[in-house]
């Protein structure tokens, strides 16, 4: 079976569900427990995965404990990033050397899309994970972190102020990342792909 029923209180962030004939990913999940005999409430933020004009749209679902949802089992496949072709990312299955076209709207949010562009400038581009329901690709994700080379950095505000400690830098693909003052051109930094924020500098 590709799906199974689950009580809404047991749903977790990242689960894929079917509702009203459409497929969604649970982006956020919150269970507010009730007082005394009250049952509480479940609230979820959903991102639509189904093809069409609604893909990527987010909505809120509220339910009472005891109600069930259809949870979908997806197939996971990994591909190596090759290059961007307009609104599509070209990737390759390294086992078969087959090339696959991944629509950019399968990535969640502008930060991930900007980081996909950065991947095409890397000497060793990373793998992406594509989730399939049957033959249909529903979502695509980058690794949790990426290692990016600093192409240009700007004078940090802390050199002019006693309080500020960050400055802007450009990485190779042009994305701007806020980094500590000690980061300079040519350094390699680790960036969190969820929000595009600096994690640490790699030691040379």
The residue extents of the domains of the chain are: 3-72, 76-143, 146-201
Q: 146-201 has which CATH code?
A: 2.40.50.140
Rg (CA), the chain: 21
In the predicted model, what is the mean pLDDT of residues 88-113? 93
Pairing of strands 41-48, 58-63: antiparallel
Task: Give the architecture (CATH level 2) of 3-72.
Answer: Roll (2.30)
Instruction: Read off φ and ψ for residue 64, nearest 5 degrees.
Output: -95, 145
What number is the average pLDDT over the span 14-39?
84
**For residue 129, what pLDDT is reported?**
96
Lowest-pLDDT choice from 6-15, 78-87, 160-169 = 160-169
pLDDT value, residue 158? 47
The answer to whether 189 touches 148, Cβ cutoff 8 Å, is yes
Mean pLDDT of 131-156: 88
Record the tokens describing residue 55, joined without a space: 């893909």
143-162: average pLDDT: 74
Give the mean model confidence (pLDDT) for residues 12-32. 91
Tokens of 50: 């189904």
Cβ neighbours around 81 below 10 Å, total: 21
In this prediction, residue 155 carries a pLDDT of: 64
Closest CA to 130 of 193, 75, 66: 75
Q: Model confidence at 201, in pLDDT bands (50, 70, 90)? A: very high
* The pTM of the whole model exceeds 0.85: no
- What are φ and ψ of residue 157, in 5° steps? -65, -25
Asked if pLDDT for residue 153 goes beyond 80, the answer is no
Residue 144 scores a pLDDT above 90: yes
Residues 6+ apart with CB under 8 A from 167: 153, 154, 155, 156, 157, 158, 178, 179, 180, 181, 183
Structural contact between residues 48 and 22, judged by C-beta atoms closer than 8 angstroms: yes
Residue 35 has pLDDT above 80, yes or no: no
At residue 10 the predicted structure's pLDDT band, cuts being 50, 70 and 90, is very high
Domains 3-72 and 146-201 in one fold? no
Give every CB contact of residue 141 below 8 A, 6+ residues apart in sequence. 107, 108, 112, 128, 129, 131, 193
pLDDT of residue 9: 92
CATH label, 76-143, candidates 2.60.120.200, 3.20.20.80, 3.90.870.10, 2.40.50.140 = 2.40.50.140
Residue 96 structure tokens: 């078969």
């Amino acid at each position: 079976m590709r799906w199974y029923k689950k009580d809404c209180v047991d749903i977790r962030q990242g689960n894929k569900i079917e509702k009203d004939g459409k497929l969604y990913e649970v982006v956020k999940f919150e269970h507010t427990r009730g007082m005394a005999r009250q049952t509480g409430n479940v609230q979820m933020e959903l991102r639509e995965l189904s093809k069409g004009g609604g893909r990527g749209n987010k909505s809120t679902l509220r339910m009472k404990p005891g109600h069930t949802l259809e949870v979908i089992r997806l197939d996971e496949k990994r591909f190596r990033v090759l290059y961007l072709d307009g609104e599509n990312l070209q990737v390759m299955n390294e086992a078969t050397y087959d090339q696959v076209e991944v629509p950019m709207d399968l990535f969640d949010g502008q930060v991930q899309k900007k980081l996909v562009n950065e991947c095409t400038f890397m000497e060793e581009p990373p793998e992406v994970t594509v989730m399939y329901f049957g033959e249909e690709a529903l979502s695509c994700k980058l690794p949790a972190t990426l290692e990016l080379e600093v192409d240009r950095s700007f004078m940090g505000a802390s050199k002019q102020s006693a309080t500020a400690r960050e400055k802007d830098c450009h990485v190779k693909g042009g994305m701007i990342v806020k980094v500590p003052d000690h980061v300079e051109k040519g350094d390699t930094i680790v960036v969190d792909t969820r929000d595009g924020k600096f994690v640490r500098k790699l030691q040379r």
